[in-house]
Structure 1
């Protein structure tokens, strides 16, 4: 049986499989009122830019009422909009702007935790007898042999330090996997779950939102016996403990309930953030259509390459080989075979450095352009639902290396840098700064460069206030206005290959993936095979190096066709000319690829 039918694609497909999702980080996308902070009216003003790119679904990162300790992932009211982003009426306008163009809108659903400023938590901490006390996770103190108070467990949080904070008012600790200002909700409490469904989900679905990206979706079910984690980081009081809260004993029960009670009745699309889940056998239960849990999830093995791990030493950068990248891609391209599950394709989001700075080459303008296009080619030819992050389509890069640590605003960056400073180890401090320059979440949060002819790169139209984060100083060369006018730009190339992805969806969205040359450290090559009406194949060959490379593959042989039946579908090294992009392959079956050049061939006459 072919992959197309193995994946439950008999009959009409779910619309979201072939859709292009585009993540907007609202604080950094477009500022409409000149206060230095991006907002929803700013997004509405640029909705045609997204529509012309080919976006089907806008994913709006958190814009809810929040103290902004973690850029809106600390929500104080699920049914209000943070005033700097706009109003409820502005969200309604955004919904209308999307729907009138045939696009959809999904919101971030952040329900593993709230802000300490949420009314639920204020009630919960008011007294041990409050009806909402059990809506959060509270535990009494432990005491060491000297009688000193210590947390209930030795678990380390994601942002450094313990997962427990002492509350003087009620003389107990509350659990927070992230910042101290983000207490975890207690999903074991059914009243709490129902309040989540009503307040955070149905409220927005009733307003016309089309679904959710679900934050930290596999962390709702914790080990309720709360054991200490094994000591894996010597000389630290706080130990990594994802096994205590990821993929817990009731997690599938909770997500199935969410689906049955809310997602399914509304026909809402769902994509979950699934961290610390490195095995395909762990992921399948979340995305199996028969399980009725989630439509798709983000799995992070590939995008975490280069990090020192999710906890201690995360920003101690670890160089990796192309062969390692290819192994991860191959694993997650093939894990859905013979299942009814589905996959996502992405290489950027708000929590990672820019793809062209991590996987490409920004050492010269020429290599930046070539590698940004090849990354685009790589992404659009992979099986699954494609997600782009704002600025990826114009090849946005990391902050300049010369910028000081004071430019890093993110709570996680500050936490890991502060931990390195506290260690007193100069080597570790320097290594952490070097790692942050590559991996930090801050890189993805720089203001979007719209225009090189106005202050603040056109991010703040009125330019009356400095943007909340510094505008990249390279914006005069790298901006949307310039790329819109250049048919050879990264943006123009994305538009071209995104159209091809939809035109050849049987190959690129649904095709069976087979990795070639797995140990080659310069060439990334794979075959995609369609299983629809014809046995059509495509060969993708990309040079992930700055040196010219000879490819030993015989294109016609790989595509199981005659030499004259081979067609060059797209070449990242060729300027966009418009019109029919299918060209004869040329006289040679074997190919030479320039620095960061990519080519896609098809057995066109089959």
Structure 2
């Protein structure tokens, strides 16, 4: 592994700063809170942290609406505190990557404030404006909210385009001045010696012509559109100057296309991609779960399609999805461990989302006021109008809500889970007295200690970094089993991702070998032709003959 590809043998940790650790009692996590917990992260074994946006923002979308790219939002701290975080993290061997949000800005960004002043303003073309009327938008495209992607401006008789909220106008990447300003900002951060970026919504920066006709996918007009390669190549050339790590949130980039995005031999743009298709849902609204077979098939396809180049980013939780131990597991330590070993030993760079290593679960929301999502109250009223009673409406709205992942980190059994001495900005799950860092550190069989062993195993055994991937038991609906092997080692990972017993018939090439258990949540598991796995049992075994 060269110094330029350090991330291939690394494990990342996603910090959602608002909910990680509050140092000053205002109920909001901050930079000094992250600094305070660096020793915990080092002990966990992670190599880098990805920090969600800490830039100056009106917080319409929790920091993803940026009003100043080179300032820190005061509720998180200031630039000097960030520099201190960077210096202290680097001192103990932890790298730091930041969110890069350049598909759009806040409508409070100085560029947009100028842009709205009129058609002749020099910043008008920094955004995407088109002639419109109150009753007729430039086209019928929808934003990700399901509403029009246009907002009308009465003063100029035009509308501006936004794939997210109206308060997040999209930048015009076709304008060289916009790109020049963005690239200057990127270099500013890289010159501070951050270690890379997670690139938010990066596959949306190119748009189709306004007369593009949608056939089936409502977001096709702004999802990996032809011509994006010019911008991505320019970004790549900057990143290559600094030898940093880049991971793109790139919806619309399929597993087959991802190799062209991530393989340096093919002039790939970035190091890895967060793909969004593995959360294959089944069940009724309000009760959806991840289908284990769909989950397995998607992950296995990405493993195969990137086998000859490129690289995977591995994750099961982030700030936009519910807690995996609720929607794939059964909220026990057993299921949290099975899920962890299953995804973290695939080929790629694993990311752990804060609290995932504790087995944190969804929050039992009972009223809209407990939630923080955009348009929560409006969405609740819409569901009521569809004929659901308030209890059903809350269940439908909250079960897959991103707020489940944003409840504060559970550090201890003290008041407010040790997150804050003030009133937390979002409710803390009542199970914090059972699920918290302090308690799990003291329990050798805890989820947290399992993660520590798992991370160490992954980083110490080369087969998990550069070994081949081979799926076995391909069509079993609940068991995820695979081999990882290189010229020196071979490992078997087999897990039951269901709450029922499963008996499987293992192939001869597995049964004929002798295996030694390296990590498991069920010490009774032994390799045999007809092998029975208890609910959410997982074992990682090394071939010794």
- TM-score, normalised on structure 1? 0.85
2:525–2:533 CA contact under 8 A, matched in 1? no
Say how many residue pairs are matched.
544
Consecutive unaligned residues in structure 1, runs of 5 or more: 1-8, 143-147, 233-239, 309-314, 363-367, 575-583
Return the alpha-carbon distance in structure 1 between the equivalents of residues 417 and 527 of structure 2: 46
Where do 1:197-596 residues align within 5 Å? 197-199=183-185, 201-230=186-215, 241-260=218-237, 262-277=238-253, 279-289=254-264, 290-303=266-279, 305-306=281-282, 319=289, 321-338=291-308, 340-362=309-331, 368-400=332-364, 403-411=366-374, 413=376, 416-421=379-384, 424-427=385-388, 433-452=394-413, 454-460=414-420, 463=421, 465-506=422-463, 508-530=464-486, 533-534=487-488, 536-553=489-506, 557-559=508-510, 562=513, 565-574=514-523, 590-596=530-536
Per the TM alignment, residue 409 of structure 1 is displaced from its structure 2 partner at its CA by 0.8
Helix, strand or coil: the match of 2:541?
strand
2:367–2:394 CA contact under 8 A, matched in 1? no
- TM-score, normalised on structure 2? 0.94
Consecutive unaligned residues in structure 2, runs of 5 or more: none
2:171 match: 185
Per the TM alignment, residue 13 of structure 1 is displaced from its structure 2 partner at its CA by 7.1
Per-residue deviation, residues 119-175 of structure 1 (Å, max 9, x unmatched): 000111111111111000001115xxxxx6221111111123111001123221000
Per the TM alignment, residue 528 of structure 1 is displaced from its structure 2 partner at its CA by 1.9
* Range 410-419 or range 540-549, more displaced: 410-419
Per the TM alignment, residue 548 of structure 1 is displaced from its structure 2 partner at its CA by 2.8
* Range 268-277 or range 109-118, more displaced: 268-277
> Which of the numbers 183, 189, 194 marks the counterpart of 2:180?
194
1:317–1:431 CA contact under 8 A, matched in 2? no
Return the alpha-carbon distance in structure 2 between the equivalents of residues 397 and 375 of structure 1: 13
4+ residue runs over 4 A deviation: 315-320, 412-416, 427-432, 584-590
Per the TM alignment, residue 595 of structure 1 is displaced from its structure 2 partner at its CA by 1.8
Q: What is the alpha-carbon root mean square deviation over aligned residues?
A: 2.3
2:133 is the alignment partner of 1:156: no
Return the alpha-carbon distance in structure 1 between the equivalents of residues 184 and 81 of structure 2: 21
Per the TM alignment, residue 326 of structure 1 is displaced from its structure 2 partner at its CA by 1.6
Per-residue deviation, residues 547-605 of structure 1 (Å, max 9, x unmatched): 33333216xx334754xx3212221225xxxxxxxxx9869565332221111222124
Per the TM alignment, residue 268 of structure 1 is displaced from its structure 2 partner at its CA by 1.8
Return the alpha-carbon distance in structure 1 between the equivalents of residues 89 and 355 of structure 2: 19
1:5 match: none
2:27–2:425 CA contact under 8 A, matched in 1? yes
Return the alpha-carbon distance in structure 2 between the equivalents of residues 12 and 350 of structure 1: 29
Per the TM alignment, residue 304 of structure 1 is displaced from its structure 2 partner at its CA by 5.2
2:108 match: 117
* Range 281-290 or range 90-99, more displaced: 281-290
